[in-house]
Amino acid sequence: MPLSPSEPKENQLKQFETIRRELKKIVLDQDDAIDEVVNAFSHMAFRPPKEAEPKAIFTFLGPPGVGKIYLARVLCSMLKEYKGFKHFDLECYSDPESYDQLLGPQMIGEENEEGELLRFLRATPRAIILFEAIEMASNQLQMALLDLITKEEPENGINRREVVFIFTSTLGSALYQGKEFQVTFRRSKAQAQGLIMDAIAKEKKVGDEIIQPAITPKLLATLAQNYIILFNRLGINAMVRIGTDSLEQLAQHFRDKGIGLDFPELKGLVTLLVLSLGPAISAKKVKQKLPDEVLFKIIHSLRQLSTSPARIIFKLTKKAEASLHRLVAAGDQILPQLYKNNQTVELTWKEYQRGGDLIFSLAGTETRALPRGKGLLRSERPAIEFSGIGFADIAGNRQTKTVLKQIINTLRRPELVQKFAISMPKGMLLYGPPGVGKTLLGKAFAREAGPTSMSPAPSSLTPTTSARCISRRANTRPASFSSTASTSRV
């Protein structure tokens, strides 16, 4: 039920409770975050108007794919006083040139206009604005946003008194893996928030060819003084609910086509399908992959049949049910265990027809550790890989990808440099702090350019005999070396 600011105070309280219940139905495993957000909006509705702008600043912190953006969007639709919602993905504004696109002025046609954010604020003075991945914005843009939000008398004359700003970030998410943090979170949310903010303050990034704080200290200090909302990692129950919804939608689609698709033991089936996506299981992966897995089996089987079945059934055997009970005994620790141990759950299927039904029977499961990328040589030297990753699979790093594409063009057309009597380069260096995409960019370069990719550890680069031995195994195509110690900017 949308909330109107003109309602009597008693009715507003009831409506906030209604919003709280509705959010908990659709935003999974985030009851604490929802309580914090709804409580904050309830306080804003009853406290005297603030003299300082804006109305509120929230920071949503947590792992990717846990509902931060979804909660902000749904909340705006339920709060009737807010007339607009604007979502800015700041990964698209990571370079200094993007400043004008967001804040302006910029040339549009023959006219000089304000940036997209300023235009929206003028047109929608009561709004919720979401800045996704604030750490991805250039530090110049971060300071400009801070100035826009907190300056008492902005030169642009924009009124932010009724605007709610929400920042999201995945920084510090590694802390969510640890049991100690979970204990601290349950004991004291304020202490947990402090740990996260301290971790974020230590995060770095490369900007303008220098190492900088991921979030500028002034902006981080402002965020710390306002609402900090911590989001949990999604547990197995939330993943099963997401998978259940996806398969129910697929079943309805089949019924619309005149074919029955039944899941007699739906929850158990979905649980095992979710675990088969390990070791790294995310909400997005579950939502996309589960229907695809089922659909692939159906289509592959239908191609072998002369007539379409009247009904398709996915069921569990007694053996699979026993395996399920053993796996779920670990509770919410099952997903972290699979990730930590680099394991997945392999499923064994049997397929047969009975009357007009096509039946897929899940006959058994096996928890299996995946290989950790050991080499092809007995001494575990680096493996030769044919990369399956391209530039389109990597978010951000637009400038770096542009330069790498130019290098690929030169490799494919050596005459571009030979006509200037320049010899072709023998290699290149990607540099930057850990975790910014260097290895992925190297693999994407290998795929786009064509050569084989090898990823040796730094210690294995010293003995030349190892390199010669590996190169002989890649003699079908020239090899591209990428060191795990090399980095993220050309």
Residues with Cβ within 8 Å of 434's Cβ and at least 6 positions away in sequence, in order, are: none
Q: What is the pLDDT of residues 373-404, one digit of tens each?
A: 543 333 334 444 556 677 877 777 788 888 88
Is residue 463 very low, low, confident or very high in pLDDT (cuts 50, 70, 90)?
very low
| Residue-level pLDDT at 48 | 75
Please give the sequence-ordered ranges of beta strands (E in DSSP) within 210-356, or none if there are none: 210-213, 227-230, 260-262, 311-316, 343-354
Q: Is the pLDDT of residue 288 over 80?
A: yes
Is residue 454 very low, low, confident or very high in pLDDT (cuts 50, 70, 90)?
low
The mean of the pLDDT values for the chain is: 80
Q: Is the pLDDT of residue 467 over 70?
A: no
Query: How much is the average pLDDT of 170-175?
Result: 78
Q: Is the pLDDT of residue 462 over 50?
A: no
Query: How much is the average pLDDT of 63-80?
Result: 90
Q: Which of 3-7, 43-47, 206-210, 450-454 has the lowest mean pLDDT?
A: 3-7
Query: How much is the average pLDDT of 2-18?
Result: 70
| Residue-level pLDDT at 466 | 45
**Percent of the chain topping pLDDT 90:** 34
| Residue-level pLDDT at 167 | 96
Question: What secondary structure does DSSP assign to 3-45, as a single string?
Answer: BPTTS-HHHHHHHHHHHHHHHHHHSTT-HHHHHHHHHHHHHHH
Tell me the HSE value of 441 on the side-chain side, using a 13 A CA sphere. 29
| Residue-level pLDDT at 341 | 87
Torsions phi, psi for 362 (to 5 deg): -80, 105
CA gyration radius, the chain: 27
CB 430 within 8 A of CB 488: yes
Q: Is the pLDDT of residue 455 over 70?
A: no
Is residue 359 very low, low, confident or very high in pLDDT (cuts 50, 70, 90)?
very high
| Residue-level pLDDT at 382 | 46
And the tokens for 182?
């979970």
Q: Which of 137-141, 317-321, 344-348, 460-464 has the lowest mean pLDDT?
A: 460-464
Q: What is the pLDDT of residues 251-265, one digit of tens each?
A: 999 999 888 999 999
| Residue-level pLDDT at 57 | 94
Q: Which of 66-80, 115-129, 269-283, 452-466 has the lowest mean pLDDT?
A: 452-466
Query: How much is the average pLDDT of 341-363?
Result: 92
| Residue-level pLDDT at 315 | 94
Q: Is the pLDDT of residue 322 over 70?
A: yes
Q: Which of 17-26, 131-140, 201-210, 381-390 has the lowest mean pLDDT?
A: 381-390
CA distances from 361 to 184, 253, 298, 325, 393 (A): 44, 21, 12, 17, 35
* More confident site: 113 or 171: 171
| Residue-level pLDDT at 216 | 92
Which of 310-319, 331-340, 411-420 holds the top average pLDDT? Answer: 310-319
Q: Is the pLDDT of residue 50 over 70?
A: no
| Residue-level pLDDT at 344 | 93
**3-class secondary-structure state, position 232:** coil
Give the integer Cα–Cα distance in Å for 79 and 289: 34
| Residue-level pLDDT at 479 | 41
Q: Is the pLDDT of residue 128 over 80?
A: yes
Could you tell me whether strands 111-113 and 106-108 are parallel, antiparallel, or unpaired per DSSP bridges? Answer: antiparallel
Q: What is the pLDDT of residues 401-417, one digit of tens each?
A: 888 888 887 777 777 77
**3-class secondary-structure state, position 87:** strand
Q: Is the pLDDT of residue 320 over 90?
A: yes
Q: What is the pLDDT of residues 185-216, one digit of tens each?
A: 777 878 888 888 888 888 888 776 688 899 99
Assessment of whether the complete model's pTM goes beyond 0.85? no
CB 442 within 8 A of CB 430: yes
Q: Is the pLDDT of residue 480 over 60?
A: no
Query: How much is the average pLDDT of 344-360?
Result: 92
Is residue 5 very low, low, confident or very high in pLDDT (cuts 50, 70, 90)?
low
Is residue 69 very low, low, confident or very high in pLDDT (cuts 50, 70, 90)?
very high
| Residue-level pLDDT at 52 | 64
